[in-house]
Amino acid sequence: MTAPEDQSTPLPNFIQAQNLTDECRQLLLSLPSEKGWWSPSIHLYQGFWHKTRFMDGVLSTQRNFKALDSDVLLITTPKSGTTWLKALLFALLNRPSYSRSSNYPLFHKSPHEVVRSLEVDLYVDNPDPDLSSISSPRLFSSHLPFGSLPESVVSSKCKLVYLCRNPKDTFVSLWHFMNQVRLEDNLGANPMEEAFEMFCRGVSAFGPFWDHVLGYYKASLEMPNKVMFLKYEDMKERPVEELRRVAGFLGCPFSENQDEPVNEILRLCSFDRLSRLEVNQNGKLYNGVDKKFFFRKGEVGDWINNLSPEMAERLDRITEERFSGLGLKF
Q: How many residues does the chain have?
A: 330
Edge-to-edge order in the sheet of strand 48-51: 33-34, 42-45, 48-51
Residue from 43, 143, 176, 212 carrying the catalytic annotation: 143
Q: What share of the chain is helix, strand, coil (3-state, %, to 5)?
A: 50, 10, 40
Contact partners, residue 222, CB within 8 Å, separation at least 6: none
| Rounded (10°) CA dihedral 230, 235, 241, 245 | 30
Radius of gyration over alpha carbons of the chain, in Å?
19
Alpha carbon distances (Å) from 127 to 43, 64, 152: 20, 7, 16
Report the interhelical angle of 192-200 vs 167-184 (nearest 10°): 130
Pair 245, 229: CB distance under 8 Å = no
Alpha carbon distances (Å) from 246 to 161, 230, 262: 8, 9, 11
| Distance between CA atoms of residues 267 and 261, nearest Å | 10
Secondary structure E strands in 195-264: 227-231
- For residue 323, the one-letter residue type is F
| Rounded (10°) CA dihedral 264, 265, 267, 269 | 160
**Residue 143 annotated among the catalytic residues of the structure:** yes
Which residues belong to the active site?
A: 143
